[in-house]
Structure 1
Amino acid sequence: MECVVKLAAQKAVVIFSKSTCCMCHAIKRLFYEQGVSPMVYELDEQINGKEMERALIRLGCTPTVPAVFVGGKFIGSANDVLTLHLDGSLKKKLKAAGALWL
């Protein structure tokens, strides 16, 4: 679990994803379209991906992917991120974390 927490804090936006997950793709695209360049960890391509996935479960990430961290804090999965985006608070969180300048 310590590994996931450290990785989540290394960049303003970190997404734990799986390369075959359509919701993961949609969430990554949402961030790219906002002008944000997230650090993405594809769990199905990581040597310790299964261990990382178990750590995400212990952190309360359900479903485990996509798991989005902004400013080192877990903000949620796809539904949570889309809700934040629609109510305008995602942009505020991104600005506060230094991921977005506009």
Structure 2
Amino acid sequence: MDRVEKLASQNAVVIFSKSSCCMCHAIKRLFYDQGVSPAIYELDQDSRGKDIESVLMRLGCKPSVPAVFIGGQFVGSANSIMTLQVNGSLQKLLKDAGALWL
């Protein structure tokens, strides 16, 4: 848990992902298209990826990826992020976290 919290707090936006996950790709693209440069941690390429994945699942992220943290806080997985994008709340979260300057 400490490792996830530490990684999540080091950047305005952090995404835990797997390189072969299509939803992870879509969420990363969503952030890139808005001009946000998230820190990406590919769990399938990390020697401790399985441990991180277990922590993410305990946080309520099912499936475990993508898991998005904004401003050091767990925001959710793909469904949560897409909901925030559709209802217009995502940009405010990103601005508040310092990830956007618009």
1:10 — aligned with what? 10
Q: What is the alpha-carbon distance in structure 2 between the residues aligned to residue 60 and residue 9 of structure 1?
A: 18
Work out the percentage of aligned pairs sharing the same amino acid: 69
Q: What is the alpha-carbon distance in structure 2 between the residues aligned to residue 59 and residue 88 of structure 1?
A: 24
Structure 2-normalised TM-score?
0.98
2:59 — aligned with what? 59
1:69 — aligned with what? 69
Give 3-state SS (helix, strand or coil) of 1:16's partner. Answer: strand
**After superposition, what is the alpha-carbon deviation per residue over 1:16-67, rounded to whole angstroms, capped at 9, x for unaligned?**
0000000000000000000000000000000100001011111221211000
Q: What is the alpha-carbon distance in structure 2 between the residues aligned to residue 47 and residue 90 of structure 1?
A: 31
Q: What is the alpha-carbon distance in structure 2 between the residues aligned to residue 79 and residue 54 of structure 1?
A: 19
Q: What is the alpha-carbon distance in structure 2 between the residues aligned to residue 53 and residue 2 of structure 1?
A: 13
Structure 1: unaligned runs, 5 residues or longer:
none
Question: How does 1:82-101 map onto structure 2 within 5 Å?
Answer: 82-101=82-101
Equivalent AA in structure 1 for residue 100 of structure 2 = L
Give 3-state SS (helix, strand or coil) of 1:14's partner. Answer: strand
Structure 2: unaligned runs, 5 residues or longer:
none
Aligned length: 102
CA RMSD of aligned residues (A): 0.5
Q: What is the alpha-carbon distance in structure 1 between the residues aligned to residue 21 and residue 57 of structure 2?
A: 17
